[in-house]
A and B are shown apart, each in its own frame.
Chain A
Protein backbone atom coordinates (compact mmCIF):
# COMPACT_ATOMS: atom_id res chain seq x y z
CA UNK A 1 0.00 0.00 0.00
CA UNK A 2 1.33 3.37 -0.98
CA UNK A 3 0.35 6.85 0.06
CA UNK A 4 1.36 10.12 -1.59
CA UNK A 5 3.84 12.24 0.34
CA UNK A 6 1.72 15.37 0.52
CA UNK A 7 3.96 17.20 2.95
CA UNK A 8 6.79 17.52 0.45
CA UNK A 9 5.10 19.40 -2.36
CA UNK A 10 4.58 23.12 -2.65
CA UNK A 11 1.19 22.91 -4.30
CA UNK A 12 -0.40 21.20 -1.27
CA UNK A 13 0.45 24.09 0.99
CA UNK A 14 -0.68 26.65 -1.58
CA UNK A 15 -4.06 24.94 -1.91
CA UNK A 16 -4.49 24.79 1.89
CA UNK A 17 -3.62 28.48 2.11
CA UNK A 18 -6.10 29.32 -0.65
CA UNK A 19 -8.78 27.28 1.14
CA UNK A 20 -8.17 29.11 4.43
CA UNK A 21 -8.25 32.44 2.61
CA UNK A 22 -11.52 31.56 0.88
CA UNK A 23 -13.17 30.38 4.10
CA UNK A 24 -11.95 33.50 5.89
CA UNK A 25 -13.30 35.78 3.18
CA UNK A 26 -16.62 33.96 3.23
CA UNK A 27 -16.82 34.42 6.99
CA UNK A 28 -15.84 38.08 6.76
CA UNK A 29 -18.68 38.78 4.33
CA UNK A 30 -21.27 36.55 5.97
CA UNK A 31 -20.76 37.28 9.68
CA UNK A 32 -22.91 39.92 11.30
CA UNK A 33 -21.12 40.49 14.57
CA UNK A 34 -17.86 42.39 14.90
CA UNK A 35 -16.11 39.60 16.83
CA UNK A 36 -17.07 37.07 14.13
CA UNK A 37 -15.57 39.33 11.48
CA UNK A 38 -12.38 39.61 13.55
CA UNK A 39 -12.13 35.80 13.76
CA UNK A 40 -12.57 35.53 9.97
CA UNK A 41 -9.82 38.12 9.52
CA UNK A 42 -7.49 35.98 11.62
CA UNK A 43 -8.21 33.07 9.25
CA UNK A 44 -7.21 35.24 6.28
CA UNK A 45 -3.96 36.18 8.02
CA UNK A 46 -3.26 32.49 8.72
CA UNK A 47 -3.68 31.71 5.00
CA UNK A 48 -1.22 34.45 4.07
CA UNK A 49 1.29 33.18 6.64
CA UNK A 50 1.10 29.62 5.28
CA UNK A 51 1.87 30.99 1.82
CA UNK A 52 4.92 32.81 3.12
CA UNK A 53 6.20 29.74 4.97
CA UNK A 54 5.65 27.46 1.95
CA UNK A 55 7.55 29.76 -0.40
CA UNK A 56 10.25 30.08 2.24
CA UNK A 57 10.65 26.32 2.50
CA UNK A 58 10.58 25.46 -1.19
CA UNK A 59 11.57 28.45 -3.30
CA UNK A 60 13.54 31.01 -1.33
CA UNK A 61 17.32 31.25 -1.71
CA UNK A 62 17.49 32.58 1.85
CA UNK A 63 15.28 30.36 4.03
CA UNK A 64 15.05 32.77 6.95
CA UNK A 65 13.07 35.55 5.25
CA UNK A 66 9.72 33.80 5.30
CA UNK A 67 10.06 32.77 8.93
CA UNK A 68 10.87 36.33 9.97
CA UNK A 69 7.98 37.66 7.90
CA UNK A 70 5.61 35.17 9.53
CA UNK A 71 6.82 36.19 12.99
CA UNK A 72 6.13 39.83 12.12
CA UNK A 73 2.67 38.94 10.80
CA UNK A 74 1.96 37.27 14.15
CA UNK A 75 3.07 40.35 16.07
CA UNK A 76 0.99 42.70 13.92
CA UNK A 77 -2.01 40.37 14.19
CA UNK A 78 -1.75 40.31 17.98
CA UNK A 79 -1.62 44.12 18.12
CA UNK A 80 -4.53 44.36 15.68
CA UNK A 81 -6.62 41.93 17.72
CA UNK A 82 -5.99 43.90 20.92
CA UNK A 83 -6.96 47.22 19.31
CA UNK A 84 -10.00 45.77 17.55
CA UNK A 85 -11.28 44.11 20.72
CA UNK A 86 -11.00 47.27 22.75
CA UNK A 87 -12.86 49.14 19.99
CA UNK A 88 -15.53 46.43 20.11
CA UNK A 89 -15.84 46.85 23.88
CA UNK A 90 -16.24 50.62 23.41
CA UNK A 91 -18.87 50.07 20.70
CA UNK A 92 -20.74 47.69 22.97
CA UNK A 93 -20.70 50.23 25.77
CA UNK A 94 -22.24 52.89 23.52
CA UNK A 95 -24.73 50.84 21.51
CA UNK A 96 -25.37 47.81 23.79
CA UNK A 97 -24.88 45.55 20.77
CA UNK A 98 -22.09 44.45 18.46
CA UNK A 99 -24.28 43.60 15.48
CA UNK A 100 -22.97 45.52 12.48
CA UNK A 101 -26.49 46.25 11.21
CA UNK A 102 -27.49 47.96 14.45
CA UNK A 103 -24.29 49.94 15.00
CA UNK A 104 -25.35 52.96 12.91
CA UNK A 105 -26.24 56.47 13.89
CA UNK A 106 -26.91 57.86 10.44
CA UNK A 107 -29.93 56.18 8.93
CA UNK A 108 -30.03 56.04 5.18
Chain B
Protein backbone atom coordinates (compact mmCIF):
# COMPACT_ATOMS: atom_id res chain seq x y z
CA UNK B 1 0.00 0.00 0.00
CA UNK B 2 1.26 3.45 -0.89
CA UNK B 3 -0.24 6.82 0.07
CA UNK B 4 -2.56 8.23 -2.52
CA UNK B 5 -1.15 11.75 -2.66
CA UNK B 6 2.40 10.92 -3.63
CA UNK B 7 4.28 9.98 -6.77
CA UNK B 8 3.73 6.25 -6.22
CA UNK B 9 0.03 6.75 -5.54
CA UNK B 10 -0.35 8.82 -8.69
CA UNK B 11 1.43 6.18 -10.75
CA UNK B 12 -0.84 3.53 -9.25
CA UNK B 13 -3.90 5.57 -10.24
CA UNK B 14 -2.58 5.91 -13.79
CA UNK B 15 -1.97 2.16 -13.83
CA UNK B 16 -5.61 1.49 -12.92
CA UNK B 17 -6.68 3.87 -15.69
CA UNK B 18 -4.46 2.05 -18.21
CA UNK B 19 -5.89 -1.33 -17.20
CA UNK B 20 -9.44 -0.02 -17.61
CA UNK B 21 -8.50 1.38 -21.04
CA UNK B 22 -7.17 -2.01 -22.11
CA UNK B 23 -10.21 -3.98 -20.98
CA UNK B 24 -12.67 -1.41 -22.36
CA UNK B 25 -10.94 -1.48 -25.73
CA UNK B 26 -11.06 -5.27 -25.80
CA UNK B 27 -14.79 -5.24 -25.06
CA UNK B 28 -15.36 -2.69 -27.84
CA UNK B 29 -13.26 -4.79 -30.22
CA UNK B 30 -15.37 -7.89 -29.67
CA UNK B 31 -18.83 -6.43 -29.17
CA UNK B 32 -19.38 -3.61 -31.64
CA UNK B 33 -21.51 -4.44 -34.65
CA UNK B 34 -19.64 -2.29 -37.15
CA UNK B 35 -16.17 -3.55 -37.92
CA UNK B 36 -14.64 -0.09 -38.10
CA UNK B 37 -15.53 0.41 -34.43
CA UNK B 38 -13.99 -2.96 -33.62
CA UNK B 39 -10.75 -1.76 -35.22
CA UNK B 40 -10.90 1.36 -33.07
CA UNK B 41 -11.34 -0.85 -30.02
CA UNK B 42 -8.27 -2.83 -31.05
CA UNK B 43 -6.28 0.41 -31.32
CA UNK B 44 -7.43 1.48 -27.82
CA UNK B 45 -6.44 -1.92 -26.44
CA UNK B 46 -3.01 -1.65 -28.03
CA UNK B 47 -2.47 1.80 -26.49
CA UNK B 48 -3.36 0.32 -23.11
CA UNK B 49 -1.03 -2.64 -23.64
CA UNK B 50 1.76 -0.19 -24.51
CA UNK B 51 1.12 1.53 -21.17
CA UNK B 52 1.38 -1.84 -19.40
CA UNK B 53 4.73 -2.46 -21.11
CA UNK B 54 5.88 0.92 -19.86
CA UNK B 55 4.99 -0.11 -16.33
CA UNK B 56 6.95 -3.33 -16.90
CA UNK B 57 10.08 -1.17 -17.37
CA UNK B 58 10.59 -1.59 -21.08
CA UNK B 59 9.72 1.68 -22.83
CA UNK B 60 11.24 0.46 -26.08
CA UNK B 61 8.76 -2.39 -26.40
CA UNK B 62 5.96 0.04 -25.51
CA UNK B 63 7.07 2.32 -28.33
CA UNK B 64 7.23 -0.61 -30.75
CA UNK B 65 3.73 -1.70 -29.71
CA UNK B 66 2.37 1.77 -30.52
CA UNK B 67 4.32 1.92 -33.78
CA UNK B 68 3.50 -1.55 -35.12
CA UNK B 69 -0.01 -2.22 -33.82
CA UNK B 70 -1.60 1.21 -33.75
CA UNK B 71 0.38 2.59 -36.64
CA UNK B 72 0.57 -0.36 -39.01
CA UNK B 73 -1.75 -3.27 -38.18
CA UNK B 74 -4.83 -1.19 -37.34
CA UNK B 75 -4.38 0.99 -40.43
CA UNK B 76 -4.05 -2.14 -42.58
CA UNK B 77 -7.24 -3.59 -41.10
CA UNK B 78 -9.02 -0.28 -41.77
CA UNK B 79 -7.96 -0.51 -45.41
CA UNK B 80 -9.29 -4.07 -45.60
CA UNK B 81 -12.59 -2.98 -44.04
CA UNK B 82 -12.91 -0.25 -46.65
CA UNK B 83 -12.05 -2.62 -49.52
CA UNK B 84 -14.21 -5.54 -48.41
CA UNK B 85 -17.17 -3.37 -47.37
CA UNK B 86 -18.73 -5.68 -44.79
CA UNK B 87 -22.33 -5.13 -43.92
CA UNK B 88 -23.27 -4.75 -40.25
CA UNK B 89 -24.21 -8.33 -39.71
CA UNK B 90 -27.68 -9.55 -38.92
CA UNK B 91 -26.14 -12.22 -36.72
CA UNK B 92 -29.04 -12.66 -34.35
CA UNK B 93 -31.37 -14.66 -36.53
CA UNK B 94 -29.03 -17.09 -38.22
CA UNK B 95 -26.47 -17.79 -35.53
CA UNK B 96 -25.65 -21.29 -34.43
CA UNK B 97 -25.06 -22.61 -30.94
CA UNK B 98 -21.51 -21.29 -30.67
CA UNK B 99 -22.32 -17.66 -31.34
CA UNK B 100 -24.73 -17.39 -28.45
CA UNK B 101 -24.17 -17.74 -24.71
CA UNK B 102 -21.88 -20.74 -25.16
CA UNK B 103 -19.05 -18.54 -26.45
CA UNK B 104 -19.49 -16.26 -23.43
CA UNK B 105 -19.29 -19.24 -21.09
CA UNK B 106 -16.19 -20.49 -22.90
CA UNK B 107 -14.42 -17.13 -22.60
CA UNK B 108 -15.33 -16.74 -18.93
CA UNK B 109 -14.16 -20.25 -18.09
CA UNK B 110 -10.85 -19.78 -19.89
CA UNK B 111 -10.26 -16.52 -18.01
CA UNK B 112 -11.24 -18.13 -14.73
CA UNK B 113 -8.97 -21.13 -15.26
CA UNK B 114 -5.94 -19.05 -16.24
CA UNK B 115 -6.40 -16.57 -13.41
CA UNK B 116 -6.86 -19.32 -10.82
CA UNK B 117 -3.78 -21.09 -12.14
CA UNK B 118 -1.76 -17.87 -11.93
CA UNK B 119 -2.97 -17.28 -8.38
CA UNK B 120 -2.30 -20.78 -7.08
CA UNK B 121 1.18 -21.25 -8.49
CA UNK B 122 4.14 -20.49 -6.19
CA UNK B 123 6.40 -18.44 -8.45
CA UNK B 124 10.14 -18.78 -7.85
CA UNK B 125 11.94 -15.47 -7.76
CA UNK B 126 15.36 -15.38 -9.45
CA UNK B 127 18.39 -15.29 -7.19
CA UNK B 128 20.42 -12.99 -9.41
CA UNK B 129 19.91 -11.01 -12.59
CA UNK B 130 22.43 -11.27 -15.40
CA UNK B 131 21.81 -7.70 -16.54
CA UNK B 132 19.31 -4.90 -16.05
CA UNK B 133 17.26 -5.53 -19.18
CA UNK B 134 17.97 -2.13 -20.70
CA UNK B 135 17.73 -1.37 -24.39
CA UNK B 136 21.48 -1.72 -24.76
CA UNK B 137 21.40 -5.27 -23.39
CA UNK B 138 18.45 -6.12 -25.64
CA UNK B 139 20.41 -4.94 -28.66
CA UNK B 140 23.49 -6.91 -27.65
CA UNK B 141 21.65 -10.19 -27.20
CA UNK B 142 19.62 -9.55 -30.36
CA UNK B 143 22.85 -9.48 -32.34
CA UNK B 144 24.65 -12.29 -30.50
CA UNK B 145 22.41 -14.98 -29.01
CA UNK B 146 19.37 -14.41 -31.17
CA UNK B 147 20.94 -13.34 -34.45
CA UNK B 148 19.68 -16.47 -36.23
CA UNK B 149 16.08 -15.71 -35.23
CA UNK B 150 16.61 -12.09 -36.22
CA UNK B 151 17.65 -13.11 -39.74
CA UNK B 152 14.83 -15.65 -40.00
CA UNK B 153 12.16 -13.13 -39.10
CA UNK B 154 13.42 -10.76 -41.78
CA UNK B 155 13.00 -13.57 -44.33
CA UNK B 156 9.50 -14.26 -42.95
CA UNK B 157 8.57 -10.59 -43.38
CA UNK B 158 9.91 -10.55 -46.93
CA UNK B 159 7.95 -13.69 -47.85
CA UNK B 160 4.85 -12.20 -46.22
CA UNK B 161 5.13 -9.00 -48.25
CA UNK B 162 5.58 -10.84 -51.55
CA UNK B 163 2.90 -13.39 -50.71
CA UNK B 164 0.30 -10.82 -49.79
CA UNK B 165 1.02 -8.89 -52.98
CA UNK B 166 0.59 -12.04 -55.06
CA UNK B 167 -2.59 -13.05 -53.22
CA UNK B 168 -4.19 -9.63 -53.50
CA UNK B 169 -3.30 -9.38 -57.18
CA UNK B 170 -4.83 -12.69 -58.30
CA UNK B 171 -8.14 -12.43 -60.10
CA UNK B 172 -7.47 -9.05 -61.60
CA UNK B 173 -7.32 -8.69 -65.32
CA UNK B 174 -4.07 -7.60 -66.81
CA UNK B 175 -5.56 -4.71 -68.70
CA UNK B 176 -7.01 -3.22 -65.54
CA UNK B 177 -10.19 -1.56 -66.62
CA UNK B 178 -13.43 -1.77 -64.74
CA UNK B 179 -13.40 -5.39 -63.56
Beyond the given A57-B56, A59-B124, could you list 12 further A-B residue pairs with CB under 8 A, ordered by the A residue number? A7-B11, A23-B111, A32-B89, A35-B80, A36-B30, A39-B29, A58-B125, A62-B131, A77-B73, A85-B80, A89-B80, A90-B170
Q: What total of chain A residues lie within 8 Å of the partner, measured CB to CB?
A: 80
Q: Contacts A20-B45, A40-B29, A81-B77 given; indicate if A76 touches B126 (C-beta within 8 A).
A: no
Across the interface, B12 reaches (CB within 8 A) one of A3, A23, A32, A42, namely: A3
Bound form: Cα–Cα A59–B126 in Å: 6
Contact indicator per residue, chain A 16-52, by CB within 8 Å of chain B (1) or not (0): 1111111111110111110110111011001001100
* B107 and A22 contacting across the interface, CB-CB below 8 Å: yes
Interface CB pairs A-B, < 8 A, 5: A18-B118, A26-B107, A26-B108, A30-B104, A64-B131
Return chain B residues, CB-CB under 8 Å to A21.
Answer: 110-111, 114
* B110 and A75 contacting across the interface, CB-CB below 8 Å: no
* A70 and B26 contacting across the interface, CB-CB below 8 Å: no
Return chain B residues, CB-CB under 8 Å to A32.
Answer: 89, 91, 95, 99
Bound form: Cα–Cα A79–B156 in Å: 8
* B77 and A13 contacting across the interface, CB-CB below 8 Å: no
Bound form: Cα–Cα A23–B123 in Å: 25
Which residue of chain A is the closest to B167 with respect to CB atoms?
A86
Contact indicator per residue, chain B 78-103, by CB within 8 Å of chain A (1) or not (0): 01110111100101001100110011
Bound form: Cα–Cα A97–B4 in Å: 53
Bound form: Cα–Cα A6–B98 in Å: 36
Q: What total of chain B residues lie within 8 Å of the partner, measured CB to CB?
A: 98
Bound form: Cα–Cα A71–B67 in Å: 12
B residues engaging A (CB < 8 A)? 1-5, 8-9, 11-13, 15-16, 19, 22-23, 26-27, 29-30, 35, 38-39, 41-42, 45-46, 49, 52-53, 55-58, 60-61, 64-65, 68-69, 72-73, 76-77, 79-81, 83-86, 89, 91, 94-95, 98-99, 102-104, 106-108, 110-112, 114-115, 118-119, 123-133, 137-138, 141-142, 146, 149, 153, 156-157, 160-161, 163-165, 167-168, 170-171
Q: Contacts A18-B118, A23-B30, A56-B133 given; indicate if A99 touches B89 (C-beta within 8 A).
A: yes
* A3 and B60 contacting across the interface, CB-CB below 8 Å: no
Return chain B residues, CB-CB under 8 Å to A98.
Answer: 84, 86
Return chain A residues, CB-CB under 8 Å to B118.
Answer: 11, 14-15, 18
A-B residue pairs, 9 tightest by C-beta: A63-B133, A26-B107, A22-B111, A27-B30, A18-B114, A79-B160, A14-B118, A86-B164, A29-B103
* B107 and A70 contacting across the interface, CB-CB below 8 Å: no
Bound form: Cα–Cα A70–B19 in Å: 19
